[in-house]
Structure formats: structure tokens, C-alpha cells
Homo-oligomer: A and B are copies of this chain.
Amino acid sequence: MRLSDGVEWGVHVCTLLATLPADGALPAAKLAEFHDVPAAYLAKHLQALARAGVLQTAKGPRGGYRLSRPPAEITILDVVEAIDGDEPAFRCTEIRRRGPTAMPARYYPHPCGIHAAFDRADEVWRAELGATTIADLVVGVVRDASRPALEKGVRWLGEAVRS
């Protein structure tokens, strides 16, 4: 069971975009450069984030991607579901209704207990990821990053949005 690489990239991208000045935007190429990830592959994930309403595109010479709403209103779960979908990790194929002891579906009025247990795990996983916002992540970066790393990031970002 594994989340796609795009999930890691997507959360980092949103965290970076949350630090832009108002009306700032960054093109896909700059986002790929900052994170040192393959531009074409990142573009695919950026489009998925835009389709899901997490990012929006700004046209014009200083256009690019920006967050579509305040970072406190975007959770890690929003990014995960935009990129990897919202299907639960466990897919029940109702194997209890197969084989030599199978009965017609009406003989199984209750949901399978195994399916229900995985659904509960899926819920707590999503609740936990839904409890952390992009704003929380920015606070963490600013608090935890070493000053030289932060300075370097701020300088790069200032040049990137002006260019």
C-alpha cells in the first residue's frame, strides 16, 4: 500500500504557494525547479490539484499556480484526495458470498465485519490527515527551519515571483 510520489510533491507545492505575496503565482517550471522533481510529471499533479479546486491558475506574464483558498482552509487530505483519489485502501469483493457456502445476497443483511473494520481504519486515517492544514505546515516550516535555509528559500522565492 503506497501513496504516489505526487502526494509528497503536492503537499510541498501547496506549502510553498501559501508563502507567496497576495496575487503572487508560480509557473509549473519554477515549482519543479524549487522541488527538483520532473517537470512533466509534476505538471500532471498540478493539473489534478487545479481540477480538485485546491489550486487555481493565474494568466499573464507573472501567471502560474496559486492556492484557490486560504491555506487554513486546505488540508493534507484535500491534496491526497486530489492526487490519489478518495477510494478507500481496502476494496471489499464480498468473498463471503462466494464458494460452496454462497447464498443469495438477501441472506447477508449486515455489512461484512471485515469490511467494516477497514472502513473504520480508513475514517481515522482521513480524519487525521484532514486535521492538518497547509497553514499548520507553513507555521511548522517557519518555526523549525534553520535560519540560513529559510533565508535561502525567501531569496529564491522573491526572485521567482518577480521574474
> Which chain A residues have a beta carbon within 8 Å of chain B's beta carbons?
1-5, 7-9, 11-12, 15, 33-37, 76, 84, 87, 89-93, 95-96, 98-103, 107-110, 113-114, 117-118, 120-122, 124-125, 127-129, 132, 136-137, 140-141, 144-146, 148-149, 152-153, 156
Contacts and interface: CB of A to CB of B under 8 A. Distances in A.
Looking at chain A's contact residues, the main secondary structure is helix
Contacts of A9: 95
A56 B19 CA distance: 55
Given A1-B84, A3-B90, A129 B103 contact: no
17 contacts: A1-B1, A1-B2, A1-B3, A1-B84, A5-B93, A12-B96, A35-B98, A36-B95, A36-B99, A100-B152, A101-B153, A107-B146, A113-B141, A113-B144, A120-B128, A121-B129, A124-B124
Nearest to A95: B35
Contacts of A107: 145-146, 148-149
A100 to B, nearest CB: 5
Given A121-B128, A148-B103, A95 B7 contact: no
Contacts of A4: 1
